[in-house]
Structure 1
Amino acid sequence: QSQQLRNPPQQSHPHGTPQKRSPSPSHRPQIQTEDEPVYVLTLLTDKPHHDRMTALRKQYFPKHLNKLEAHLTLFHALPGSKLDSTVIPTILSVARRTAPFKLRANKVMRMKRGLGIALAKTQGADQTKDVHAQLRDAWSQDGQRWLSEQDRGGLGHVHYTIMNKVDDVEDVERAQEEVEESFKGDVGVAEGLVLFRYDRGFWRWERKFEFGGEAPSVTLCSRRKWFCADRNTSLKRDISTKGRLFAFWRILHAVQSMHATESRALSLEKQQTTMQILKDLAPLAAWPDDFKMEQYALWSSLTEQQRQLLRNAGALQGLPLIDKMSREDLVRMFVKMSSLVDESIDTQPDTGQQSFCSMPKAYPPSTTPAAELSRLALSGLRLGSRHAGKVLIVRTIGHPKSNGGVESTVKDEFGSVAQLAIYNTDRLLKTDELLPADAVFALKGPYFEVTLGSACLRVDHPSDLVRIHPGNTLMPEDLQPGPADLGKTPEDCKREGNLAFVAKRYPAAENAYSQGLMTCSEHDDKMRCDLYRNRALANLFLRRYDRALKDAKHSITCQDEKLYHSNDDPRIASDAKAWYRAGQAAYGLCIWMDARKYFERARALCGKAEREDVERQLERTAARIAEVDHAAYDFEAMSRSASKVYNRLDHASHIKHVEKGDTGDRGRGLFAKKDFKSGDLIICEKAFCTAHSDEEGQRTVAFHNINTGSTARGIQTSLLYNIVQKLLHNSSVATPFFDLYDGGYSPQCKARMVDGVAAVDTFQTEAILEHNSFGFNGRISENLSASDIKKHQAAGNRSTGIWITASYMNHACDGNATRAFLGDMMLVHATKDIAKGQEILIPYLTPAMDHAVISARLQRQWGFTCHCAICTAETKGSQTQREKRTALVKKADEMLSQHVPDLIGLPNAIVVAKFEELYSQLKDTYDPRVFATAPRVALVQVGKWLCQSCWNYWDPVKLAETAVRVLRDAGYGITIVDQQLQVDYTHCMIGNGAVDGSIYAWTAYSRQGKRELAEQFKTLGKQLYFATRGTMEGLPRGMISGSESD
C-alpha cells in the first residue's frame, strides 16, 4: 500500500510533518504537568476512500489554514501519562476484537463555520461509536476522570470536516450548495485506528492499530523473553515491589527519548548511562508482580516498544559494549530466563506459547570459507554492527533454550562471554542438537545486536554458523577438547555414530561420522567407505538429500561390477547398500531417472532378502516417471492416501505442458504449451515445501520484519524455517526457488556452497515467500475418524506452502483455470478453453458479493488492481447503481445469515418472497449493456438460496429455471435447444455457485423426466466439482451412481 497512514515516513506524511495545531481548552484532560504529551485517536480507512475525502477537504478548506488530510476523530486529548499503562493496551484489545467495517460518507452537514460529511448511521457511524464507547468505558472505570470533557461524552455526528474557520456565511452556503449538488457519497473500509501526538503545539504521527488481529500468547526473552503470557490467561509473575513494571515502561521511554534526540554518537558518559538503563531492564522485566493485563494487549504493546527500540538502536551502532556481565552473571540470568519460559509452558501445556522476534535490517550471508576470514575476539565486537570479513570462534556453555530462536551462552578463547541466538533453524531438531553443550562454532561475519538486556550475538543465516571439529586448524588452543575427544579413532567415531543413530539422534550421528572421516587415514578404504555410507543414511533421515547422495557415491568401492573378486566379495553387499541409499537420495530430490538407475544397480548386487524392498522402490520410481510424462495419476487413490490431515503425498509433478514467459505488463507469467479444453488438467504439482499448523507443537513464533513492516506468525514462520533448511542442505534445488519474484530484493546472493552448506540468504528467502506462498486448507479425508475431524475443525488448522511452477500464475477474478489441493499436491484445471501460447490465469481470491472488499484485499495483499471483465464491469455504470448494489449486498448478507436453507423443512413463504424481491432489486443494479456476458456476482448466492427453496417445495420446473439462472449469473453462457446443452465458458467464474447450480439443474431435469438433458448437467457438475476439489469425495452419490433419488 502506498497510503501514508499505513507506514508513514516521518518526513512525508502530512500528520508526521510538524503542523501548528493546538488542542482547545475544552479538550484538555486532567494532565499531571504542563509539558505532559497529549494524544489524539482517529479512524484508519482504506487509501482510495481516504484520498477522495482528502481531495474534498483540500477543495473547500481555506488553503492557508489546511494542514491536515481528511480524518475521523474519536478522542481529542489522551494524556501521555496513561499511554503505556492504559491507553495503548486498551486500544490494542479493542482493535483485536473489532473486525474491519464498511463506511459510507454521504450526508452534508452544516457546521458553525464550515461543512462536514457525516457517516451513514448503519454504515460506519454506529460502528465507530461502538469502538469509541468501548474505549471510553474502559478508561472511565473506578471513577477515573482523566479524559477531557469532550472525550467523556458521546461522538455525536461522526464526520469529516471539509471546511472550517470560515467567517463569511455566504461562502459557507455557496460551498454547501456545490457539495450537495456534486457529492453523492463515498464508500470505504475502516481498517483500524491511528494515534497522533501533540508536541509543543504540533501534531505528529505516533502509530497505527489494525482491526481484526488474532490473540496469540507471547514470549519476550532476554532479548525477548522477559514477559510470558499463555493463551486465555492473564499475566502473572513474581516481582519484589509493586509498580516496578511501570518503572520498566518509564525506563524504556527514557531510552527511546535519548535515542530519538541524539543523532550523533553518544559521549562516553551517555554510553555508560544508556547501557546501564538497558541492563536495568532485565530484572525489572524478568520478574513482574501481580500485574494482570489482557494478554494480547500486552503482547502488542511490548512488540511495538521493541520495534521502536530497534529503530532507535542506531545511536549505539559501532560502540563497544562497556558494561559487560561476568560469565557467572550471564549464565545465571540465562538459566533464570529459561526457567521462566519452561514454567509458562508447564502451567498451560495445552495452550502453548508464542515467541516474538524481530528480523534486523537485511544483510547478506557470508560466502567466504571460515578459514579465509580474519579472526575476531568478543572484545572486538561493536554494537549494532555486522563484522564482515571476520570470524569469531566460540564454545557453547551449558544447555540451550528455544524461544523464537535457539539461544545459548558462549565464550571465546580469551574467556570473554556473550549470549548467542540463532534463527531459522531446523524445527525437527532439538535445541541441544542445534547448539550442543561444549561444542565449538565459527561465526562468520558476526552480528552484535543491541537488545533490551544488553547485546547478543545474532545469526540469521544458518550458513554463517559452522561447527568446528577437533583437529580443525580453526580450533584455538584454549578451546581444544580434552584428551578423550582428541584421542578418538575412526572406529570410536563410527561406534559413537551408530549408537546415536539407533537412539534417533541423527545430528549427533552425522557429527560423529564426520569427525571419524577427518581422522581416518586415506589408506583405510574400508573404514572411510563405512563412514561415508553411514553418514549418507543419517543425512537421509535429516532430509539432506544432496549430501546423502554425495556420501553414498563416495562410499561405493567398485563402479564396475567386473572388478569384484568373486560373488562372495564382501564389498558387494556394502555397495548394494550404497547404491540403494543413492537411489533414496535421488528420489528425495525428485531426480527420478537417476533414482531408477541407482535402484537398478542396487538390485543387481543385493541378496534375495533385500531384493523385495528394492523392487518396491523401483515400482514407486516408475510410477513417478509415469506421472511426470503422462499425468498417470489415480486421483481417487491419491485422495484415499490422504488419511491424515495435511498429509505430504508421495507423487511427482506433471508440469511438462506449461512454461514461464514474459507477460509484458505483469512481469512473468505461466503459458500453455498446448491447447487445453475446459476441464482438462493443466498441471499437478507437488509442493516445493509446506508448513502445517498442527505441526507447530507447543511453541510458535512470530517474526516482525523491520525491512517490510510485516509480521509473520505460526505456519508462515515455519514455512520460512523449512525452506531455509531445505536450501541449506540441498543446493541443487536452490536455483528454481531463487528465480521466483522477490519484490526487487537487493543485494542478490547466489546460494553457492561454502563450508559444506549452501550460503542461503534468509532475507531474500522471506521476500520470495511473501510474494509467492499459497495459503490453503488441507482437505479432510473421509477416512478420518469423527474425533480426528472434530479436533481438526476445532483447531482451525491451516497450511501454507510454495509451488514453484504455480507461483508464476497471475491473477484474474474470471481466470481460465482454478486450483485445488490434495494433501500437498496442487491440481490446476482449465475452466475455459485455453489455446497454445495463452497465459494461464487463476483467481487469487474468490469473487465476493461486495466487489469493493475483494478489490481492497488485492491491493492490500498483492499491491495491484485487477482489470478483468468482472472488475471492469463492476466499476462501470452510475454511482447510484453501485451505491444501491452495495446497500443491497449488505441486506443480502444479513438475510442469508438469518435464513440458512433447511435441507428438509419448507421455508416460510414470506421469507421466500423477500428473497425473490431482493434478487429482483439486485438484478436491477446491473446494467444489462455492461453485464451482458460478465458475471453478476452478487446474484449467485441469493440464487442458490432460491434453488434450495424450490427443491424443498418439490417444484422441478421452477428449480430448473432458477438453477440455470444461477449458472448464467456466474458467467456461464447456457443454451438449451431440444434437450441439448451448450455451455459457453468464455466469461465464467468458477466456484461453489456454478457447482451447486449444475447439481440443482441435474436434479430438476431428472425430476421432470428429461434424462438426456439431466445427464448433460450431471457431466457439467462433475467436471466443475472435480476442478475445484481435485476429488469426487463429497459429491452427491446420485451424481456417481446415476440415481437422482440418492
Structure 2
Amino acid sequence: MTESHPLRGKLPPRRLAKEELARTHKSHLKKQDLTPDAPRPVKQPLLDQAYPASTRSIRDLEIVPLSDLRIEEHHRGKGVVVKVISPPYVGAGVISLVEDELGNADKIAIYNHSDSSILSGVPEGCIVAVKEPYYKYNGSGEDYMICVDHPSDVILLRFTDPIIPELLRLGPLLKSAVDWRSAGDKAFIERDFPTAVFWQVLPVWSRSYLSNKQCQALEASDDGTFRAGIFAKRAGTNLVLGRYDAAKADALASRTGASSDWKAYFTAGRACYGLCDYQTSRGYLESALGLDPPATSSVKKEHSRCLSRLYEESTGSYNFEALFDSLSPTNVHLDVASFLSNTRVADSPLHGRGLFAARNIKAGELIYVEKATLMPNQYEPSRASAALYAMMVRQLYDNPSLASTILSLYGGAYQRSGHEGDLVDGVPIVDIFLVESIRNKNCFSAPLSTLDDTRPTTTSGRMAKGLWLHASYMNHSCVPNSMRSFLGDLLISRATRNIAEGEELSQQYVPVKALSDVRQAQFLAGWGFTCQCALCEAESRGSRQMLQKRKEILGRIERVCGKNTPNKGVLPDSAIRTVDRLTKQLEELHETEVYAGLPRLALVYPVNWLIQAHRGRKAHAKVVRYALRLLREFGFRAPADEDANWEPREIYNGKGGASLMTIHVVTALKYASEAYKALGRTDLAARCEEAGRFGYMMVTGFENDLGILNG
C-alpha cells in the first residue's frame, strides 16, 4: 500500500470485529511458538517513505477513538489511548490487539524497541498512548493496523495516569510497596530484566517515563530508606540492561548519607564507565573507596580498570598485539579507551566540519585511536547494516545522553525537526529515518581485524558495520594523509606521510576507483559531494577524449589479465608481451601536465599483474623494475632505474607530490626485497623489507611480520 492508494485519507469501508482479529492473532501466536529461538528480524526504514517522529506531548494532543483512524494517514495533532488485550506476537516488531474505551478493537505494531524494553513485548492489560498515529493498510482485504515506527511515538502509561479514560482503568494490581518490590525482585532473579524494570521505581529524571507499576512502589511508601532501596535495585537492573543514563540517575537517587552509599557510587561509576566517561567514573569510584566499602577488592578492581582507560586516553599507549590475540568471534568489543588528543574538530574548507591535526604528526605515527560508539557483533554483510541501525535506535532511546553527539552527525538531505533527542513525556524523541540517514552517511565497514584481512587465505566479505563518531568528521580524499585499520571495535588511524599542525586530516571513504568519472559518480551517489582532492581536481582538467581512450585500453587489459591469472602458474610470453604493450599504450594516454607528481591509478592494475607474472618466472630484475614502477604509479618517489641505489623508507616523507598508501605498496616493497636478495643486493633488500614492514604497520595498525603476505 502506498500513499497513492484510492482509499488514502478515508475511513475503512469495514473494520474487522474483535473476534475476527482475535482468531487471526491466535493463529499467528501458534506459529510463533513453533520457532521460539528464531533470530529476530529488523524492519529497516525506507528513506523514500520517511515521516517525522511526533514532537508533542500526549497531553497536548486530541485523544480520538480507534474508529476515527483513516487509511494511510499520519494523524497530526491527535493521539489514541488503548488497552492491550492480547499476548504479543513478536517478529520484526511486536503486534498486539488493542481496545479503546468505546470497545473498538484494532491491531498495533510497535517497532524498534530493544529487548530490554517492556514495549518490545507489551503484556496484556497494559495501557499505551500512541502519538500522532500512522494507520497503515497491510495490502490485502480489510487488514489495517496502527504502525509505530518511531519508538518515542508510543508511551506506556501508569494505571493511575489521569489521561486514561475511566473505562480503561484497572486500579492498582498490588496493594503495598513491599508487594511491588517483591514482584520486581522475583523478575530480576528469573533474569526477566524488562519485567523487573516494569515493577520497579521510576528513574528520578522522569516520573512519567514508565508505567504505574514502576512508580507504584515509590508512591506506596514514604519511608526514605525503603525508597532508597528501590532506587538501588532499579539502578542495578538498568546497569544489567545497558541503560547507563538511568542506572547512574537511580544510583545517585539511592544515596542516604550513610556509609552504605558506597554501593550508589560504585554503581554510578560503573554506569559512567559503560558510557566511556572514564573521568567521571573515576570520581564516583574514588567516592566509593572513600567510604571504606566491605567489597573493597571489587571497587579497587573497577578503579584500576578506569585508570587504565584514562592512561590510554592521555597517552595513546596500547598493547595492540595483546588486543589482537584477545579477539575472537565472541570477543569483538575490546575494553579500551579512545585516544583523540592529537586532533580537533573545526570548520572545513572542503565540506562542513573536518578533523585537523593538533600537533605535528610524523609518517607512521598514531593520529587517533577510537573505540566504536556503536558496533554490533554481526559480520554477515546482508545483516550488518540492519543490525547497526537497530542498535543506534535502541541506544539513543535507552541512553539519551548519546543524542548530542550521534544526532549532530551529517544526515544528508533529511529534514530535521530540531527536537530530535529532546525528552517529551519522559522519553527521548528518536526519529528512525534520521537515524538511518546518519547511518548511511557515517558508518564504516570493519573486518574482525585488518591484519587477518590481508592474509591470502582470508574469507572475503566478512564485514561488520560500526559508528565511530570522531572518524566520521574526517573528510574524504582519494590521496589521503591517513590510513585506518581495525581491531574488533577499535579503529586505528595512522599518518601515511608527515602532517603539519593545523593541516586537515583526510581518509578514503571507500577504496578509490581507477577512473575519475566512476569515482565521482560513486561519491555523488553515496555522499552527495564531488571530490576536489589534488588528484580529482587535476583530472577534472584532463581531456574527456583521453579518459574515454583510457577506459577502452584498460578494459582490454582486464580481459587479457582475467584469462591469464598469475596464480595459475608460469604465464606464457605472449600474454606478458600483450599486457606490456597495452600498458605502454595506456601510459601514453596520461597527460603529463595533468599527472605530474600524482598517482596514475589506471596503470596500477596492469603493472601489479606484470610484477606477479615476472615473479612467477623468477625474472628478478623485471620484478624490481615493475615494483618500482608500481610505487611511482601510486605517487611515491621511486627511481626509474632498477639498478639505482636508493632509500626505500624515504617514500613516506611526503615530498614530491600526492601519494596513495595501499596494501599493494607493501607487497611491491616485499617483492622488490625478494628480488634484490636474489640478485645479490642484500643491503637494498633489507632496506626494502624495512620499508615494507613500516608500510604494513600503517595498513594493519601495528607492527607485523611481512611473512603473513606470503603468496
Same fold (TM over 0.5): yes
**Secondary structure in structure 2 of the residue aligned to 1:1013:** helix
Name which structure has the greater RCO, CA cutoff 8 Å, separation 6+.
2
> 1 CA distance for matches of 2:325 and 2:489?
14
Question: Hey, what's the Cα distance between the residues in 2 that align with 1:989 and 1:966?
Answer: 11
Q: What pairs with 1:324-723 in structure 2 (closer than 5 Å)?
A: 324-337=15-28, 362-371=50-59, 373-426=61-114, 428-429=115-116, 433-452=120-139, 453-481=142-170, 486-514=173-201, 515=213, 517-520=215-218, 521=220, 523-558=222-257, 564=258, 572=260, 575-605=261-291, 607=293, 610-644=295-329, 647-694=332-379, 714-723=383-392
8 Å contact kept, 2:278–2:310: yes
Q: Which moved more, 1:975-984 or 1:665-674?
A: 975-984
Greater Cα offset, 652-661 or 640-649: 640-649
Aligned to 1:959, the other structure's residue is in SS state helix
Aligned residue for 1:747? 417
Could you tell me which of 1022, 1026, 1030 is aligned with 2:701?
1030
Q: State the distance in 2 between where 1:1011 and 1:533 align.
A: 69
Superimposed CA distance per residue, residues 761-789 of structure 1 (whole angstroms, 9 cap, x where no aligned partner): 22222222222222333338869xx9xx9
Deviation at residue 694 of structure 1 after TM alignment: 4.9
1:665, 1:578 → 2: CA distance? 48
Task: Give 1:844 shift.
Answer: 1.7
For the pair 1:1000 / 2:685, whether they are aligned, the reply is no
Task: Tell me how far 1:846 sits from its aligned partner.
Answer: 1.6
Superposed displacement of residue 351, structure 1: 10
| Conserved? CA contact 1:463–1:760, under 8 Å | yes
Q: What is the number of residues matched between the two proteins?
A: 688
- Alignment partner, residue 152 of structure 1: none
Displacement of 1:443 in angstroms is 1.7
1:771-786 pair list within 5 angstroms: 771-779=441-449
Secondary structure at the residue paired with 1:891?
Answer: helix
Find the residue that maps to 2:196 and give its secondary structure.
Answer: helix
| Counterpart AA for 1:895 | V
Distance in structure 2 (CA, Å) of the matches to 1:906 and 1:321: 73
**Structure 1 residue 433: Cα displacement:** 4.5
Contact 1:998 1:1021 in 2 (8 A): yes
Equivalent residues of 1:778, 1:821 under 8 A apart: yes
Q: Percent identity?
A: 30
2:23 maps to amino acid: R
Deviation for aligned residue 1:546: 0.5
Q: Taking structure 1 as reference, are residues 964 and 361 closer, same or farther at Cα in structure 2, changes over 3 Å only?
A: closer
| Amino acid of the structure 1 residue aligned with 2:558 | D
2-side partners of 1:1036 and 1:1005: how far apart?
A: 17
- Give 1:320 shift: 3.1
TM-score under structure 1 length normalisation: 0.61
* Distance change (3 Å), C-alpha of 1:819 and 1:337: same
In the TM superposition, what are the counterparts of 1:736-815 in structure 2 within 5 Å?
Answer: 736-744=405-413, 745-779=415-449, 793=459, 796-815=461-480
Verify the 8 A CA contact 2:41 2:92 in the aligned structure 1.
no
CA gap of 1:338–1:358, structure 2 versus 1, over 3 A, is: farther
Distance 1:893 1:606 in 2: 72
3-state SS, counterpart of residue 595 of structure 2: coil
Equivalent residue number for residue 964 of structure 1: 628
Contact 1:658 1:670 in 2 (8 A): yes
CA–CA distance in 2 between the matches of 1:987 and 1:358? 40
1:863 aligns with 2:532: no
Answer with 1 or 2: which has the greater Rg. Answer: 1
**Cα distance 1:878–1:370, how it changes in 2: closer, same or farther (>3 A)?**
closer
Secondary structure (helix, strand or coil) at the match of 1:723 reads helix
- What pairs up with 1:974-1013 in 2 under 5 angstroms? 974=638, 979-981=646-648, 982-983=650-651, 984-985=653-654, 986-1013=657-684
Aligned partners of 1:849 and 1:889 also within 8 Å: no
In structure 2, the partner of 1:935 is 599
Per-residue deviation, 1:906: 3.8
3-state SS, counterpart of residue 679 of structure 1: coil
Secondary structure (helix, strand or coil) at the match of 2:607 reads helix
CA distance in 2, matches of 1:993, 1:859: 27
In 1, Cα distance between the equivalents of 2:587 and 2:50? 52
Check whether the contact 1:870–1:934 (CA below 8 A) recurs between aligned residues: yes
Contact 1:402 1:431 in 2 (8 A): no
Partner residue in 1 for 2:209: none
Q: Structure 1 regions of 5+ residues with no counterpart?
A: 1-308, 559-563, 565-570, 697-712, 1040-1044
Contact 1:685–1:805 under 8 Å retained in 2: yes
Q: Please list the CA deviations of residues 220-279 of structure 1 after superposition, one character each: whole Å capped at 9, or x if unmatched.
A: xxxxxxxxxxxxxxxxxxxxxxxxxxxxxxxxxxxxxxxxxxxxxxxxxxxxxxxxxxxx
- The alpha carbon displacement at 1:350 in A equals 9.0
TM-score (norm 2): 0.88
Q: 1:887 to 1:361 in 2, by over 3 A?
A: closer
SS in 2 for 1:398: coil
User: Aligned in 2, Cα 1:578/1:695: closer, same or farther, shift over 3 Å?
Assistant: farther
Unaligned 5+ residue runs, structure 2? 202-212
Q: How does 1:867-946 map to 2 (within 5 A)?
A: 867-902=532-567, 905-946=569-610
CA offsets 1:455-505 (integer angstroms, 9 cap, x no match): 3212222122121233333444333337xx523422222222222222221
Paired residue type of 2:199: A
3-state SS in 1 of match to 2:486: strand
Do the aligned partners of residues 618 and 719 (structure 1) sit closer, same or farther apart at CA in structure 2, a change above 3 Å counting?
same
> Any idea what the Cα deviations from partners look like across 1:50-99, whole Å, max 9, x if unmatched?
xxxxxxxxxxxxxxxxxxxxxxxxxxxxxxxxxxxxxxxxxxxxxxxxxx
- Looking at structure 1, the residues matched to 312 and 188 of structure 2 have their Cα atoms a distance apart, in angstroms, of 34
Letter in 1 for 2:434: Q
Cα distance between partner residues in 2 of 1:366 and 1:545: 25
Contact between 2:380 and 2:462, CA under 8 Å: does it hold in 1? no
